[in-house]
Structure 1
Amino acid sequence: MSINQILDIASSGLAAQRLRVQLIASNIANSETTRTKEGGPYRRRDAVFQAQDQGGFGEALSAAGVRVASIQTSQEPFLTRYEPGHPDADANGVVRYPNVNPVEEMVNLTEASRSYEANIASVRTAKSMASSALEILRVQ
């Protein structure tokens, strides 16, 4: 596997995790949004990843990298609260809130951040290996 392939794989992971972090931030920011343009409360969104086929030589490169296959909108039921004075309350005084759990989102954010850091570590290691190889060639 070449240094370029390693960097391509790591960069695809970086891009995928960056999008995931953006979606998590949007979920957290809208965790109390009861009215959207589409109508009704905000629905939680999440990225779905898929192995990226590079068509390489053998099994080692058959799944080289990751891509975002889709962004799914959660179909979990909304949270409800009895708030008769709220402008979005129904006839029974119940308000529907987004299906976003801030604690779960923070766990997802931690996981995405660690995955991002792991990809950065791969890039640094590949860079170090390339520098070492050049140094060996220069010495001889």
Structure 2
Amino acid sequence: MIDPLQASSRLAGAGLEAQSARLRVISENIANAQSTGKTAGSDPYARKTITFRSELDRALGASSVQVKEIGVDQAPFQVEYDPGNPAADERGFVKMPNVNMLVEMADMREANRSYEANLQMMKQARSMITSLIDLLRGA
């Protein structure tokens, strides 16, 4: 059986990995928020989404988090009038990515806070292990 300090470190590590993946997806969305198609009338960048799943870690006897899948947002593309754009159709309209910067920034902030919480949990477990070692040395 795994001790509670090791278990908390493993669970925090799983949370760190999940939120790190979420931050990568958000970063890609932000980087491509203005990426139109290459040719006239073609589709632009489609926003990516990430979903998680709870998975039982039998060694810990606790639920952990993992990335289930990275998908594509099915929301419609926005259309802007920009006849000079190489991606403009015959009427001068360009399909723009379905990325909403306010949503991405809110998601990034939430993912960052969750990442920091998991990191703090990892630091606390490490500190408790160090304290335990110091106590054992003194005994």
**Fold match, TM over 0.5?**
yes
Q: Counterparts in 2 of 1:1-140, with a 5 A limit? A: 1-35=3-37, 40-56=43-59, 61-63=61-63, 65-140=64-139
| Residue ranges of structure 2 left out of the alignment (5+ in a row) | none
Separation in structure 2 between the aligned mates of residue 3 and residue 56 of structure 1, nearest angstrom: 13
| Residue ranges of structure 1 left out of the alignment (5+ in a row) | none
**CA offsets 1:1-25 (integer angstroms, 9 cap, x no match):** 5222111111111111111111111
Runs of 4+ residues over 6 Å off in structure 1 = none
- % identity of equivalent residues: 37
Structure having the larger proportion of residues in strand = 2
- RMSD of the alignment, in Å? 1.6
Separation in structure 2 between the aligned mates of residue 77 and residue 19 of structure 1, nearest angstrom: 25
Question: TM-score normalised to the size of structure 2?
Answer: 0.89
- Equivalent residue of 1:6, what SS? helix
The alignment covers a number of residue pairs equal to: 134
Question: TM-score normalised to the size of structure 1?
Answer: 0.88
Instruction: Quote the offset at 1:56 in angstroms.
Output: 4.9
Cα gap change, 1:2/1:62 in structure 2, threshold over 3 Å: closer, same or farther? Answer: closer
What residue identity is the alignment partner of 2:133?
L
Separation in structure 1 between the aligned mates of residue 62 and residue 123 of structure 2, nearest angstrom: 23
